[in-house]
Amino acid sequence: MKVLVLGFTKISYMPYMHFYIEQLKKNNCEIHLLYWKRDSNPDTNSPEGVVTHEFNRYQEDSVPIIKKIGSFLGYRKYAIQILKKHRFDLIVVLHSTPGVLLYDVLTKKYNKKYILDYRDFTYENHTIYKKIIHKLVNNSSTTFVSSDAYRKYLPLVENLYTSHNILINALDSREIRKSKGRGVDPIKIRFWGFIRHKNINLTIIEKLSNDKRFELHYHGREQKTGQFLRKYCEEKNFKNIFFHGEYKPDNRYDFIGNTDLIHNLFDNDKTMKPAMSNKYYDGVAFYIPQICHEGSFMGDQVVENKIGIALNPDSPDFADEIYRYYRTLDWSNFETCCDYTLNRIITEYNDGVYKIKEIIKGKKAN
């Protein structure tokens, strides 16, 4: 059975693809991966045993969609060439945007022969885009959502599962933070991922800068926003704010083991309010409390599960609230809550695993 995993960015920026690739490997599928090399920075190696197809075109992420149209159309053309060259039995669409770009091909030629992974709410305010998403969901073999908050925006269908962004093999390193001391100042707050959302990060930086109780560290891609924030901190001579640049996925264990609190705050707008980030799962997996935005779905989750704190960065007491939370945390209870939350995540993760196995079995039977 031949399967195409349809990615929309570099390999290192798609850790969620491993959920699907691992299941496809277990079921002896021939796996092809289409990915988009968007810049000249080093990328992670392709998963072993996977045939890769590289769409190579520079594209800055933090620009308006009008400036991406040319690249999007180029991606569509390249993807169609791959689809024509090979006869795929199943397609895994790793983002709603490539699904929209190829929706006519998917819904006509691959009706009920693709899995849709829905993890973005950027363009749903456009009526046509929303209608296409609904059609993609209705015509898929199954749809996975990266956040349960997205469910209310999608059609009510039976084959809708939650795709938790947890890397199962990361659990082998689960003790890397738990075994180290928790009570030493400064408290190391750390962000990792694509550095964006300028205004909220400026607010956080201003609230924590030159406060001897804290260090604030940023790891990840720096385009316009990241570069601006780095330069701003250098010009202001902030001694406790650090930018470490881009990293490869395996390198994150080095700094995760030296993290006290996860900076998991984003703009609390319509796009980000329902989202769940990869760092949420890192916090649960590695026993690291996290700070999320008050009023966001993720903020509600960390409070409900007692694995972090939800705050408003605009609060005048923001820094004091962080310090008070961390210094009064009951670590035994916190770790128990992480275990309980992880067990529930793994149960839903396994439901998805079973569903993929069921789809593959059905395709092979036909």
Each residue's pLDDT tens digit, 216-240: 999 998 989 999 999 999 999 999 9
Could you tell me the residue range of the domain that residue 87 belongs to?
A: 2-163
Let me know whether 110 and 232 are in one domain: no
Let me know whether 86 and 204 are in one domain: no
**What are the distances in angstroms from CA 115 to CA 95, 112, 129, 150, 326?**
10, 8, 18, 16, 41
| Residue 362 domain-assigned (yes or no) | no
Contact yes or no for 260/150 (Cβ under 8 A)? no
Q: Per DSSP, what are the bridge partners of residue 241?
A: 216
- Burial pattern 164-174, b for ≥16 Cβ within 10 A else e, equals bbbbeebeeee
Contact yes or no for 87/2 (Cβ under 8 A)? yes
Let me know whether 110 and 212 are in one domain: no
CATH of the domain at 329: 3.40.50.2000
Contact yes or no for 267/197 (Cβ under 8 A)? yes
Contact yes or no for 241/173 (Cβ under 8 A)? no
| Residue 359 domain-assigned (yes or no) | no
- Is 309 a residue whose pLDDT tops 90? yes
Dist. CA 210–CA 333, nearest whole Å: 32
Let me know whether 185 and 158 are in one domain: no
Dihedral sign computed on CA atoms, order 352, 36, 195, 313: negative
- Strand arrangement, sheet containing 241-243: 241-243, 214-219, 187-192, 261-263, 290-293, 308-311
Let me know whether 33 and 153 are in one domain: yes
Contact yes or no for 56/217 (Cβ under 8 A)? no
Dist. CA 358–CA 352, nearest whole Å: 10
Let me know whether 145 and 204 are in one domain: no
Let me know whether 178 and 147 are in one domain: no
Q: Comparing C-alpha atoms, which of 287, 281, 264, 299 is closest to residue 182?
A: 287
| Residue 364 domain-assigned (yes or no) | no
302: its two tokens:
């960390």
Condensed to tens digits (0 to 9), the pLDDT of residues 242-275 reads 999 998 888 889 999 999 999 999 998 888 899 9
Burial-class residue 313 by CB neighbours within 10 Å (0-12, 13-18, 19+).
Answer: buried
Mean pLDDT of all residues in 298-324: 97
- Look at residues 119, 137, 163 and tell me which one is the last residue of a structural domain: 163
Among 183-187, 188-192, 312-316, which is the least confidently predicted range? 183-187
- Cβ neighbors of 310 (< 8 A, separation 6 or more) are 291, 292, 293, 294, 295, 296, 299, 300, 302, 303
Give residue 251's pLDDT.
87
- Is 141 a residue whose pLDDT tops 80? yes
| Residue 210 domain-assigned (yes or no) | yes
360: its two tokens:
């593959």
**149 vs 122, residue with greater confidence:** 149
Tokens 């406060």: give the residue.
211
Q: How many domains does the chain have?
A: 2
117: its two tokens:
């992974």
| Residue 240 domain-assigned (yes or no) | yes
Contact yes or no for 187/215 (Cβ under 8 A)? yes
Give residue 366's pLDDT.
67
| Residue 33 domain-assigned (yes or no) | yes
Find the DSSP H helices in the chain.
17-26, 69-85, 96-101, 103-109, 127-139, 198-208, 224-236, 252-256, 278-285, 297-305, 318-327, 331-365
Let me know whether 184 and 155 are in one domain: no
Mean pLDDT across the chain: 93
| Residue 363 domain-assigned (yes or no) | no
Question: CA angle at residue 323 from 320 to 324, to 5 degrees?
Answer: 85
Let me know whether 204 and 184 are in one domain: yes
Let me know whether 175 and 313 are in one domain: yes
Give residue 195's pLDDT.
94
12: its two tokens:
């290192």
Give residue 149's pLDDT.
93
- pTM strictly above 0.85: yes
Question: CA angle at residue 43 from 204 to 77, to 5 degrees?
Answer: 105
Q: Per DSSP, what are the bridge partners of residue 290?
A: 262, 308
* φ and ψ at residue 79, rounded to 5 degrees: -60, -40
Q: Per DSSP, what are the bridge partners of residue 291?
A: 263, 309
- Look at residues 163, 180, 207 and tell me which one is the last residue of a structural domain: 163
